[in-house]
Structure formats: C-alpha cells, structure tokens
Amino acid sequence: MVYHRGLFTLPTGPHQGFARSNTDISHQATRRSIRQPRAWLTADHDSLDWPARTNRNLHRYHAMKRQITQTVAAFTFCLPLIFGVCGYAQQAIPATSPTYTTEQAIAYRTSADPSISTMCVLDIHYPRGIENFPTVVWFHGGGLTSGKRHIPEQLSEQGIAVVAVEYRLSPKVKVVDCIDDAAAAVAWTFANIKDYGGSPNKIFVSGHSAGGYLTSMLGLDKRWLKKHDIDCDDIAGLIPFSGQTITHFTVRKERGIDRKQPILDDMAPLFHVRDDAPPLLLITGDRELELLGRYEENAYLWRMMKVAGHEQTTLHELDGYNHGQMAVPAHPLLLRFVKKQSKNGND
C-alpha cells in the first residue's frame, strides 16, 4: 500500500517513516531517501527488485532529458526566424494612421457688416490620408449671449472632421440672426467639405446648451436651411447636448417674458416635430442637476417625436452630471452615433 503526497509516491511497510508527518520521519527512512533518491519514485517498494527498477527509471529519465533538450534546441533555433518574419512583415506593411490639420478663422459669410466679418467664422479640424470621412458641425453654448468657438478635445483626432462655428450673439443681434448664422455655417460645410476629403452625405450637427438649441432648430424647422438651398433632411444626424426644446429663454427675454415662464411657439424645436426628420440623439445631464427642467424638455421632445412616427429618436440621461459637466461624457455617445449612422449612409 502506498500514500501519495504531491508528485511523489510514499511507501508504507518497511519504510513507515514516509507515511508520517515531516516531524515523525525515521532516521532510517531519511537515510534511504538520500542514498537512493529515485528508488522511491517506483510504484511498489515492497518488491525486492530495487536495482532493476532503478535502472529502468534512470533510462526513462535520460531519454526524457534528451527529448526535452532536442525540443528546446529546435525552438531556440526557430525564434530568430519567427521574429525576423514578423519584423519583415511590419516593415513591408507599415501601419497607416491619418494626420490631422486645423484651419482657423474661415469666413462662412461675407458682408460689409463688421459684426458678420468678425463673428461669422469657423475652424475646421480634419484628417488627411482618408477619404469620405464624417463631419460634425459643432456649436458652442452660452445662452446665445456668450461663448466662443472651440473644437472639443474628445472629438479631436477621432477619424472625423469637426467644424467649430462662431456666430453672432444677443443682445447685439436677435436670436433669429443667431439661427441664420448657424444655418449659413452648415450650408458652407455642405458646399465645401468634399474639398477637404469629407463626405457631404455624412454631415452631423451638434452642440452644447445653446448650441444644442441651434442644432434642433436647424434639423427640425426646415425654413432655416432652405434659405441657403439646403434640405435639412440631408443632415446625417442631430446630436443636441442639453438643448432647450421649448422657446429659448433668450427669445423670451427679447419679448419681456421671464426665463422661468415656459412658452412654446415656432421658435421652439418641439413645435416642429415630424416623422421624416434626420436621426436624433438627445443627451442631457441628470434630471435632478440639470438647468431649468432641461431633461424634462428633452424627454417631452423624445416622446412627441415617437408619437409623430419618428423611430430614430433616442434619449440619454447622464446620471450624476449637471448641465455644465455633461458634455465631456456625452462625446463618446456622439462618436458612437456618428459611426453607426455613417455605416448606414451612402458616400
């Protein structure tokens, strides 16, 4: 009978010490294990054929050693060939990644009016080395009274072009002028993006806060882009970040109405719900942290678009983020949406 402990076969009988704990191993058993270290690897130590079994074990041991040595030698010989082939492949097929260029202060409207020549400009950040890439026209926030164009860091060098738009601001102009400037910038993008390598079939419009309001107005109310001979339904997708969907509070201010008094008329995106609008991705911050019921406004727009028969309307609420914070975590949702809709479109 034998006991097994780990990889070794521990005998009983004449060598009882092997079956006991380490503190109870007899001196005789210990001496035998030292004198004949491989003998107690055999299956049966009650047998008297110790030398013969030991010789057979030694023969097997040396045969296995030779086999392992040959295998290691062959593998060692092949390693330089393997890595050499990989290195050659990397040199023969270099990884290609686009480089990016940013052109700044491009006029999208021309006029003798100094406010137009100063404010109606845009920056374009775009990739080189790829063709027919998507483009996001980005409108900054600021309540239509402040703010400046910028290219969001999270959208930079993402395989897309970003057109960052500056527009005139209230109270120097009316809100209708802000929307008209935004429409002119989108029209400029449709007319020129192909010259930069982009696809006019993959133009998306987005913006945060006031920029989200401009996005929704341009994509739902057809009259603004129609003035520039553009059908707003040619926009590949709309992604407003926490934009107002009722009449903007700056419009209400122009009319002497308190910003906390909601109204809904033709200056509200909600007024223009329809089933044939471009795909619409609505994103807001946490309803408990957002500005002036902004989540509920967007939830109502989402519901009414569904009621109107527009199936491609989606709403995301970013828990834990307030109105100002929500833009950064919203950008990955924008990029995913752009990627998905670009696959569905045509070049």
β-pairing verdict for 280-285 and 237-241: parallel
At residue 17, does pLDDT exceed 80? Answer: no
β-pairing verdict for 2-5 and 8-11: antiparallel
Euclidean distance between CA atoms 299 and 282, whole angstroms: 9
pLDDT digits (tens, 9 = 90+) for 186-228: 999 999 999 999 999 999 999 999 999 999 999 999 999 999 9
CATH class entry, domain 99-344: alpha beta
pTM: 0.73
Euclidean distance between CA atoms 262 and 239, whole angstroms: 23
Count the Cβ atoms, other than its own, within 10 Å of residue 241.
30
Phi, psi of 200 (to 5 degrees): -70, -10
pLDDT of residue 10: 39
pLDDT digits (tens, 9 = 90+) for 326-336: 999 999 999 99
CATH 3.40.50.1820 residue ranges for the chain = 99-344
pLDDT of residue 344: 82
pLDDT digits (tens, 9 = 90+) for 248-260: 999 999 999 999 9
Q: What's the rounded mean pLDDT across residues 293-307?
A: 98
The structure tokens listed for 147 are: 């703010």
- % of the chain beyond a pLDDT of 90: 70
The CA distances from residue 116 to 93, 172, 178, 205, 287, in Å, are: 49, 11, 11, 21, 37
| CA-wise closest residue to 136 among 159, 112, 163 | 163
At residue 171, does pLDDT exceed 70? Answer: yes
Residue at 1: amino acid letter? M
Cα-based angle 51, 57, 63 (whole degrees, multiple of 5): 140
